Amino acid sequence: MKISALMTSAGINIGICVLLWSLYSVLRKQPAFVRVYFGRRIAEENRLLREAFILERFVPSTGWIVKALQCTEEELLAAAGLDAVAFNRMLVFSIRIFSLAAILCLFGILPVHYFGRKMHRLEISSEQLHMFTVGNVEVQSRWLWVHSIVLYIISGVACFLLYVEYRHIARLRLIHLKRATVNPGQFTVLVRGIPKTTNESCSTDVDDFFTKYHPSSYLFHQVVYKAGKVQKIITGAKKACGMSDPSTDTTLDQSCEAITYPCSLCGASSDSFRLLPTAEVAKNIDNEECAAAFVFFKTRYGALVASEALQTSNPTNWVTDLAPEPDDVYWSNIWLPYKQLWIRRIATVLGSLVFLVSFLLPVAFIQGLSRLDQLQKKLPFLDGLLKKPYMSQIITGYLPSVILLLFLYTVSPIMIRFSTMEGPTSHSERKKSACSKVLYFYIWNVFFVSLASGAVISQLSPSSSTKDIAVRLAHVIPEQTTFFITYVLTSGWASLSSELMQLFGLIYNFIIKYVLRMKEDIAFVPTFPYHTEIPKVMLFGLLGFSCSVLAPLILPFLLVYFFLGYVVYRNQVREKLETASRILIIPWQLLCCILFS
């Protein structure tokens, strides 16, 4: 890939970013989109002001950027919770370490790469990108000590900064726990795997068990019931009646006689459809007792001891965990049998692996697009089109990363579905599980498979020895890192603009208001998609640590991404979230392992 192709991709993405950021600064001022870009509280506060016709509403502005930068950490903690602060500190850490890496690599390593071989120099725009990678350095060069020193400096500073950030987050977490108000969730334990007996009900078994083994701290309990299908239909019907005519409080007359309706086919009467009386409907509503219950204790210490202790010798019976917060409970999975969870987890792991392997084909195809010589050989009918300079620049510099980005949009919904099938009892656990799956998917398919496909596969043969494989990989991997530069442009800069614009929210808002003619759900509070954004930031951190010495040109583009992300994410959590989020706490240990693996 030539520098001109990289500049073409950069120009396209810069234009897209400027366009989307300008549109956002205009759309966020419009009354029709106020609930798309703001939380309920901010929307209500600014409703009267936004309903007035003001010319300023139609002029792009940068005031929101200034407000996002001026937002303090205390305000961020009060508005969006500790998770948002931890996520923001990840961006701060990335800006600090890659600023240092950019200075050292661009001024220390990049000249060594460019002048690594004695050859005829072209204009910078006509040079190939591999001229600026470690692949252009001669074997056993006497300048390789520069790479070693820079690598040790970056690694040492990164370890120190990670220690500082981890200590800061730990201190904030302790302060948050001290300041947190007492809530019933801290005294509650979720019990699953309750063994069923033939003579006693589940409620009686729970009461007897905790009265016997936790007599001093046990207070009372509530068994979880699984509502039957009839109950769900009745609940839906009540909601429909309330939406159709909320001003009246009329009920159906259940005392009338059975009504018969003529058959639409033969005209004969039939009693297949009858209006059932209330007593008969109540018999069809089957509230089954699930093998799960919420147990309440008198003290937090008693609840903690009960949640951590092994209740019986059988680890699948009387399984206790601290209960999720009331708004965090994922009720659809509470009733799942505990002994069934290990089967679900194995099935989701296998499904994730199959989905991960299925992405090998599109990734290999995308890597072929990034190499013009291979593309001309495999698709000769495009020879005339590829000879045009601007077309070759777009195809090799912009198209591969765009195609990969479109494929990756399907990853997060599928992984969140897999995580739901595992049987987590809270939304937090579901998002944490999806976050790990998406991260592993990105590392394998975007990083390792991109390195091992394309040019790497073409250089290997069945007769290659182990030594030949290592030497050939050392030659071609630096060339493959140039693909990551275009990936940062497209998946980094453009995806941040998409997150800022809330394209899916805009489309959903348009369909609800103007197509379906439905009222807005004013009680809905948007949540930040941690399971999609955290893996992106970690992946770009991995690319920065892995490619900073091999291809230093990636660092300026990464720095721009982290600066843009710092502004965009602070704006999103400041304006959209209204209450402290659940304590997921970003796994900094996982971040350390990923960055230094």
Q: Given this model, what pLDDT does residue 260 score? A: 47
- Amino acid sitting at position 171: R
Q: What is the token pair recorded at 321?
A: 């965990």
Q: How far apart are CA 13 and CA 28, in angstroms?
A: 22
Q: What is the token pair recorded at 382?
A: 């495009």
Per DSSP, helices labelled H in 180-308 are 202-213, 229-244, 278-284, 300-308
Closest CA to 569 of 524, 530, 541, 518: 530
Q: How far apart are CA 407 and CA 361, in angstroms?
A: 11
- Distance from chain centroid for Cα 511: 24
Q: How far apart are CA 220 and CA 207, in angstroms?
A: 7
Q: Given this model, what pLDDT does residue 586 score? A: 47
Q: How far apart are CA 199 and CA 196, in angstroms?
A: 9
442, 541 contact by CB (below 8 A) = no
539: number of CA atoms within 13 Å, CB side?
26
Q: Given this model, what pLDDT does residue 551 score? A: 85
Q: How far apart are CA 191 and CA 289, in angstroms?
A: 13
Sequence-distant (≥ 6) Cβ neighbours of residue 564 within 8 angstroms: 17, 492, 493, 496
Q: How far apart are CA 117 and CA 119, in angstroms?
A: 6
Tell me the Cα Rg of the chain: 30
Q: What is the token pair recorded at 578?
A: 């209204």
Q: At what angle do helices 341-358 and 360-369 cross, to 10 degrees?
A: 20
Sequence-distant (≥ 6) Cβ neighbours of residue 399 within 8 angstroms: 369
Residue 322: beta bridge partners? 189
b/e map 79-102, b = 16+ CB within 10 Å: bbbbbbbbbbbbbebbbbbbebbb
Give backbone dihedrals phi and psi of 296, rounded to 5 degrees, phi first: -105, 140
Q: Given this model, what pLDDT does residue 588 score? A: 45
Q: How far apart are CA 400 and CA 8, in angstroms?
A: 13
Q: What is the token pair recorded at 252?
A: 């159906």
Kindly report each contact of residues 198-201 with a partner whose C-beta sits within 8 Å and lies 24 or more positions away, as own/partner.
201/289
Q: Given this model, what pLDDT does residue 473 score? A: 66
Q: How far apart are CA 220 and CA 459, in angstroms?
A: 69
Per DSSP, helices labelled H in 379-426 are 383-386, 389-397, 399-408, 411-421
Q: How far apart are CA 213 and CA 580, in angstroms?
A: 36
For 487-503, the pLDDT digits (tens) are 888 778 888 888 888 88
Q: Given this model, what pLDDT does residue 93 score? A: 93
Sequence-distant (≥ 6) Cβ neighbours of residue 19 within 8 angstroms: none
pTM of the model: 0.78
Q: What is the token pair recorded at 446?
A: 């975007």
* CB neighbourhood size of 532 (10 A): 21
SS3 content of the chain, % helix, strand, coil (to 5): 65, 5, 25
261-262 and 319-322 beta bridge pairing: unpaired
Taking 70 as the pLDDT cut, the residues of the chain under it are 1, 39-55, 118-127, 198-199, 227-288, 364-398, 452-476, 519-526, 576-597
For 145-177, the pLDDT digits (tens) are 888 899 999 999 999 999 998 899 888 888 887
Write down the domain spans for the chain. Answer: 3-118+126-180+343-595, 184-244+260-338
Q: Map tokens 């941690």 to a residue.
A: 530
Q: Given this model, what pLDDT does residue 91 score? A: 92
Q: What separation in angstroms does the CA of 223 have from each of 321, 330, 338, 354, 590?
A: 15, 15, 15, 38, 36
Sequence-distant (≥ 6) Cβ neighbours of residue 359 within 8 angstroms: 407, 441, 445, 449
For 76-135, the pLDDT digits (tens) are 888 778 888 889 999 999 999 999 999 999 898 888 887 877 666 666 666 677 777 887
- Distance from chain centroid for Cα 258: 54
423, 340 contact by CB (below 8 A) = yes
444, 415 contact by CB (below 8 A) = no
Q: What is the token pair recorded at 518?
A: 């439905």
582, 81 contact by CB (below 8 A) = yes
Got the DSSP string for 95-141? Answer: HHHHHHHHHHIIIIIHHHHHTSS------GGGSBGGGGSGGGSPTT-
Q: Does domain 184-244+260-338 match CATH 3.30.70.330? A: yes
